[in-house]
Chain A
């Protein structure tokens, strides 16, 4: 019987070779900390509505004035995309079903200009392979790729300071987020979806991106864009 994975990890703990700090160094740091202000960091300033109004005006103006913006405007106005229905607890999908679900979702979701759908990574075993997959596998794979693509588009648009593309990418990401199925504790592994911690981290990343911090969005792109 193989060793428990936690024991395997513990046997490889890098802290075993961690150099120790001296008592003096440790005490110096402690004294510096307790000598610091007790006031704590300044609370975050509330967002000013004026700035949001100004940003909205810039976006609206850009949409109206720039040529070739009809496509972007249409994307911004796309209705929310509903998540797939929760599969039954004992759902298992064949390779063919996964591929069909993936293709169905590629028709529901737009990608940024110039980005193509990646090949169907899952369900390649073929009907004879006996490979089985949990529910929503195809839908989630399509959503992941689109999240990656639109995250990259948003970051590129922000770099280029292209407000129209930013608005379009933000709307697309919001739409994808609304389509992400949730997995709750107590559900079976075959009822595919993202757990609450993952969804919260996506929400935080999207909120950060709307404030101009793209660290979380880059992380999402890495997770979802990885070729496996």
Chain B
């Protein structure tokens, strides 16, 4: 029994050492204030459910971290007890300084549905491939592939719209419109 426990602890420590930074980066990118709480809870769940952790463990851990984060956010929302209004909702997530600094990217991301944002950021920042995306999002590989494809198209379109230069109407040297006399 002690041997079992020791083996489990050693295996867990390997998992912890291998993915601590990845899980913390995932949480920090989305909510820096709670990142360490998310890490602690995610690895506690991994320890308690170690037999359920698949060999390809990072997508599984990110899936757990995602749920932990969502639960924390739900709890926070409940505490705030905001009056829900259909049209005016606090839907402005933070994407961290680097994204905020690029306002067009920030605007484009904010305009996407949450499920598009999530799969794009998992693919870009966590560098998950399609099979890992499917494991993290608990969906089939085909669904993940389709969702990523559609999300990329939507972000590209949103970026193009956000970065389009403001159209100026050409005027002559006296400020007159071309056809204006």
Taking Cβ atoms with an 8 Å cutoff, the residues of A that contact B are 2, 4-6, 8-10, 12-18, 21, 26, 29-30, 32-34, 36-41, 115, 148-149, 151-152, 155-156, 185, 189, 195-198, 201, 213, 215, 218-219, 221-228
B25 pairs with A148, CB closer than 8 A: no
| Contact among A37, A215, A223 for B74, CB-based, below 8 A | A215
Interface centre among A10, A196, A222 (most CB of B within 10 A): A222
B159 contact set on A, CB distance < 8 A: 2, 5, 8
> 5 closest pairs, A vs B, by CB?
A14-B96, A215-B74, A9-B124, A225-B86, A40-B48
**Alpha-carbon distance between A6 and B25 when the two chains are bound, in angstroms:** 17
The count of chain B contact residues (Cβ–Cβ below 8 Å) is 63
Interface residues of B in 139-162 (CB under 8 A from A): 139-140, 142-143, 146-147, 150, 152, 155-156, 159-160
Q: Provided the pairs A197-B115, A218-B84 are in contact, do residues A14 and B74 lie with their beta carbons within 8 angstroms?
A: no
Q: Provided the pairs A17-B97, A36-B48, A221-B86 are in contact, do residues A10 and B91 lie with their beta carbons within 8 angstroms?
A: no
Per-residue interface assignment for chain B, residues 1 to 31, with 1 indicating a CB less than 8 Å from any chain A CB and 0 otherwise = 0000100110011001000100011001100
Interface residues of B in 97-126 (CB under 8 A from A): 97-99, 101-102, 105, 111, 113-115, 120-121, 123-125
B123 contact set on A, CB distance < 8 A: 6
B137 pairs with A197, CB closer than 8 A: yes
Taking Cβ atoms with an 8 Å cutoff, the residues of B that contact A are 5, 8-9, 12-13, 16, 20, 24-25, 28-29, 32, 36, 39-40, 43-45, 47-49, 70, 73-74, 77-78, 84-87, 89-91, 95-99, 101-102, 105, 111, 113-115, 120-121, 123-125, 137, 139-140, 142-143, 146-147, 150, 152, 155-156, 159-160
